[in-house]
Structure 1
Amino acid sequence: MPHASKPSRKSFQHRLDHMVQTLRSDILNGHYRAGDYLPGEKLLADQFLLSNKSIRKGLDQLVSEGLIQKIDRVGSQVLQAGTIETVSLGYNSTIERDIALSTLVDDFQALHPRVRVKCLPLQSTKDYIQSISAYMEHEMIDLFTVNNRDFQRLIEDGEIAALQPQKESEDVYPLTKEAFRSNGALYARPLVFSPLVLVYNRTHFAECGVPEPDGSWTWNDALRHAAALASPGQRHGMYFHLLSDNRWPIFPLQSGVNFLADEEWYERADNEVIASCRMCKTLISNHHVFPNMLSESSDDVNELFREGKVSMILTTYMSLNDFRDTELDYDISPLPFLFEPKSVTVVIGAAMNKRSSGKASAELLLDYLSSPRAQQLIRQRTLSLPATKKVAEAPPIAVQHAFEGAKLPELNIPSRFALFRETLSSSRLHSALHLSDGSFARLKTILKHYWADLMDESGLYLELRALFREEAKKRQQQ
């Protein structure tokens, strides 16, 4: 008769962790009250299929957490019950993908068993800041995630006073702190960031004999190679969701115009900004290269790329997470450029409600999210770039060994993952356009009309000149 197999160490550890988590939860939720005794070691051993020695090890963990005390020859007495504290964290729809939020929350709660995180998904990106403001006003939220564009809206809406100023760290990239600074103070802790990059299907390039892109590519190069990659009825050469606020601004940014210092650029009718917008129109109007598709978001673009229906897209490191579990043969490259190789950069951080009634616990969570431990977890489980420089630039082998014994997912990582290090000098926040949120939206509308042939270049010039003249006057009055 064959012998039963010996239980694995992994199975034993799982049962022990389950016992500790169950007893901890029962204590914190008031099932066991202060002064009560936990079941005896024999009963616990039978319940959780563990040895008495293992039971004692688990009880020692609860002692170290201050939840019970062991009384010799009597038992394990509960010291505190119902002392659980709750921190409310608001986040937008992509944060789980961007930073592996559920993994971070589970790890935080294991480290701080008396604090529970209540995650509040706020799905509407259009009204995200409006929702955050209402939640803060009614003290329904302690922390929330915010990107640099959201932060600008908070400033202009007069909501910055509702945020708790934050301590700065020298360990994060300076650009990520610039994204959340106002009047010299930091109001959000940077978590992840990304420049916009060119993502390409290596199989398509090899099949068509097209050289893989590099930092020397201009938009004319991209257009020419995209035409060679396109196959009528099968795939297009390039695509991106033009109306995304993380896409269309690259064209005015790449004009090379310093919108703050050079206030006379708009006096030149055929200027670099006009030429950059013209280049974009040339690209998107070529339907052999660029599909005539009414995409609703960049998710549509990523889906086309996964399906092999487009060879090149523009996206962020955060969006690369849509490909991390695939077998897609892809890589990344700096954006093509026209006048200057600049790229729009997105930064995501976490901010605290100044009115929070649980500031101590909220601060604890905020410290954790920006800690090296949490940043390592983000790097291990996603393709996002942690804001902490040392973690973002660590070699893969160091990332894998950051947590001993941890089972890591096998991510489909592009071979040129580290190229962001060499392109940091070209990374620009949206604020580099020096436009208020209202003027930013107005610029987008002007460009939409031009790109849709509802306005010619003469009209585009007049509209841009009027817009930036108004901004120049505002700056002079400030």
Structure 2
Amino acid sequence: MNGTNQGIPMTRRIAAEMEARISDGTLPAGSRLPSVRDLAGQYEISTAVCLSAYRALEKKGLVERRPGSGTFVRGTAAVEDPKNYFYNWDCVLPSMETMDMAAALSPELEFSSFPAVTYDYNPHYIDWIISRNSGSESHPGLIALNEGLLPVLAAEKALLPLDGFLERSTRLSPEGFPPELLRSMSYGGKLCALPLSFNPLMLFYNRRVFRRRGIPEPDGSWNWNSLLRHTELLTEAGADGVICYGLAILFTPNSFIPFVFQNNGEFFDRNGNCVIDSDPAFEALSFFSELYRLPGVCSHRHGDVRSALVDLMSNDFAAMLIGDGVDYALLRERMPEADWGMVKLPAGKRSATSLSVWGVGLTTGGRAEERFALLERCFEPGPYSGYCRQIHTLPAYDPAANGVPSMMVDLLPEAIPSIQSTSRQAVNAIAETIAVLLAHKLRLTREQCRDFCRKINARL
């Protein structure tokens, strides 16, 4: 066997199959599981992989190891907390506004926020959610997640499939969600969360600067060379340095991810392995490296307020901005609409953009109908549109009726979810290797790319 199945690492595949057999009663309480050696022979893999699978089941409280006797299915079911919870993390949804939304859904809904403020803690948020519904206690609730967290939580069977609930809903219509957003919140053909809001990456531009420099505005037909050339043309320098940046970039992994997609590259293959050392991915990352190293390019710096780049542009200190739906909302607040415009990202071999999606799902556990009714209430027209305005993002449900520009909705067929992998280390591994190098404006070499690929695969 090759150690994977549809992109799922073998450890997780074995754990998931065992968990399913425990859930449906095929392996009743007290059953003795095959020895690690026997299981390794059955799957034709190493005993270390099988031992890891058993440890994952033990961590969830589903099995117990008895020294000298073997591994057995636990005989007692988890005690379920009578409360309903709303789990969130500031890196997914802003806690203050989301706490208010949760209170409006139900005064009895217990809001629980993960205590971390940076994406370095991505794996820990996943562990935190799983730990709330494993062992001897179960604390079911609603959970805020994004397109990167979803495949990991779904592969861990920490989420309830929602297809049937949405089809039976009298409050929500499946057709109200763009199909691309529903797909981004799905795993293994099952809908695992409802998309709450979305953000494609786009190119915004300052009409005042273009007019002042006598340069025609972008019309959506630009390619990579056009972006490079215009960044240099629009950069204004004085005796003391740059006085107007040609291009500002919201620097996150999402800033360079679409260029890989545009070059027909990908970050992970269908077996879950990192493949950024392939020619398409390396060529795209090299282009972004050269673009980002230009003297006329600036980026959002650690500690800057979220509006920093929009503030530069609104004060004519930046001619263009690669940003997302948050920047769109901020620009509407800070600049007259006649003074700025937006187009899709300049294309490589094809036109594509990255797609960030924030959603809400249901953790595994009881009272599913009751919790789905609370989830439905997240999308009540008045409060829902008000919440999206508060957090400066684009509504995912009935976007046209909720004021999302048609151009952004029309981009969805060519928008690709950013980093989707069943490894909880995937997002961090990409951010801590490629992003660190690019953020310091260093040139990416082929050998560095191969080295990054090896390091990332070792962590996965």
Give the deviation of 1:315 after TM superposition. Answer: 1.7
Does the CA contact (< 8 Å) of 2:354 and 2:417 recur in 1? Answer: yes
| Distance in structure 2 (CA, Å) of the matches to 1:119 and 1:320 | 29
The Cα offsets for residues 205-231 of structure 1, whole Å up to 9 and x where unpaired, read as: 222222222321112212222223222
Matched residue, 1:27: none
Q: CA RMSD in A?
A: 4.1
Aligned CA distance change for structure 1 residues 339 and 296 (closer, same or farther; 3 Å): farther
Equivalent residue for 2:418, pick from 424, 427, 430: 430
Amino acid at match of 1:208: R
Amino acid at match of 1:237: G
- Structure 2 residue matching 1:222: 3-state secondary structure: helix
The Cα offsets for residues 35-85 of structure 1, whole Å up to 9 and x where unpaired, read as: xxxxxxxxxxxxxxxxxxxxxxxxxxxxxxxxxxxxxxxxxxxxxxxxxx9
The Cα offsets for residues 11-35 of structure 1, whole Å up to 9 and x where unpaired, read as: xxxxxxxxxxxxxxxxxxxxxxxxx
The Cα offsets for residues 70-123 of structure 1, whole Å up to 9 and x where unpaired, read as: xxxxxxxxxxxxxxx9753233337777996477557646xxxxx444444445
Aligned CA distance change for structure 1 residues 240 and 88 (closer, same or farther; 3 Å): same
Amino acid at match of 1:221: S
Matched residue, 2:356: 346
Give the deviation of 1:467 after TM superposition. Answer: 7.9
The Cα offsets for residues 118-157 of structure 1, whole Å up to 9 and x where unpaired, read as: 444445243243444444556566212111112133245x
Matched residue, 1:240: 249
Give the deviation of 1:260 after TM superposition. Answer: 4.7
Structure-to-structure mapping, 1:14-413, within 5 angstroms:
87-93=84-90, 101=98, 104=101, 108=105, 115-122=107-114, 124-126=117-119, 127=121, 128-137=125-134, 142-155=141-154, 158=156, 161-166=157-162, 167-168=165-166, 169-232=174-237, 233-242=242-251, 244-257=252-265, 260=269, 271-287=279-295, 289-291=296-298, 294-295=301-302, 299=306, 300-328=308-336, 329-355=339-365, 359=368, 361-371=370-380, 375-377=384-386, 384-388=393-397, 391-394=398-401
| Distance in structure 2 (CA, Å) of the matches to 1:235 and 1:454 | 22
- Structure 1 residue matching 2:198: 3-state secondary structure: strand
Does the CA contact (< 8 Å) of 1:99 and 1:382 recur in 2? Answer: no
Does the CA contact (< 8 Å) of 1:324 and 1:383 recur in 2? Answer: no
Scaled by the length of structure 1, the TM-score of the pair is 0.61
| Distance in structure 1 (CA, Å) of the matches to 2:249 and 2:299 | 11
Matched residue, 2:434: 447
| Distance in structure 1 (CA, Å) of the matches to 2:87 and 2:424 | 23
- Structure 2 residue matching 1:331: 3-state secondary structure: strand
Give the deviation of 1:448 after TM superposition. Answer: 4.5
Does the CA contact (< 8 Å) of 1:254 and 1:337 recur in 2? Answer: yes
Aligned CA distance change for structure 1 residues 116 and 235 (closer, same or farther; 3 Å): farther
Does the CA contact (< 8 Å) of 1:450 and 1:460 recur in 2? Answer: no
Does the CA contact (< 8 Å) of 2:91 and 2:117 recur in 1? Answer: no
Equivalent residue for 1:420, pick from 408, 415, 419: 408
Amino acid at match of 2:400: E
Q: Which structure has the larger Rg?
A: 1
Matched residue, 1:457: 445
| Distance in structure 1 (CA, Å) of the matches to 2:112 and 2:353 | 32
Aligned residue pairs, count: 353
Matched residue, 1:31: none
Does the CA contact (< 8 Å) of 2:160 and 2:364 recur in 1? Answer: yes
Does the CA contact (< 8 Å) of 1:449 and 1:455 recur in 2? Answer: no
| Distance in structure 2 (CA, Å) of the matches to 1:435 and 1:253 | 19
Give the deviation of 1:240 after TM superposition. Answer: 1.4
Give the deviation of 1:445 after TM superposition. Answer: 4.7
- Structure 2 residue matching 1:313: 3-state secondary structure: strand
Give the deviation of 1:394 after TM superposition. Answer: 3.2
Aligned CA distance change for structure 1 residues 262 and 215 (closer, same or farther; 3 Å): farther
Give the deviation of 1:362 after TM superposition. Answer: 2.8
Give the deviation of 1:453 after TM superposition. Answer: 7.7
Amino acid at match of 2:265: V
- Structure 1 residue matching 2:236: 3-state secondary structure: coil
| Distance in structure 2 (CA, Å) of the matches to 1:118 and 1:176 | 28
Aligned CA distance change for structure 1 residues 468 and 353 (closer, same or farther; 3 Å): closer
Does the CA contact (< 8 Å) of 1:216 and 1:336 recur in 2? Answer: yes
Amino acid at match of 1:189: L
Matched residue, 1:20: none
| Distance in structure 2 (CA, Å) of the matches to 1:444 and 1:95 | 16
Can you give the 5+ residue segments of structure 2 that lack an aligned partner in the other structure? 1-81, 167-173
Which deviates further from its counterpart, 300-309 or 233-242?
A: 300-309
- Structure 1 residue matching 2:334: 3-state secondary structure: coil
Matched residue, 2:13: none
- Structure 1 residue matching 2:208: 3-state secondary structure: helix
| Distance in structure 2 (CA, Å) of the matches to 1:369 and 1:238 | 37
Amino acid at match of 2:412: L
| Distance in structure 2 (CA, Å) of the matches to 1:284 and 1:227 | 12
Aligned CA distance change for structure 1 residues 371 and 323 (closer, same or farther; 3 Å): same
| Distance in structure 2 (CA, Å) of the matches to 1:273 and 1:327 | 36
| Distance in structure 2 (CA, Å) of the matches to 1:190 and 1:367 | 11
- Structure 2 residue matching 1:392: 3-state secondary structure: coil
Give the deviation of 1:365 after TM superposition. Answer: 1.7
Amino acid at match of 2:352: K
Does the CA contact (< 8 Å) of 1:198 and 1:332 recur in 2? Answer: yes
Amino acid at match of 1:142: G
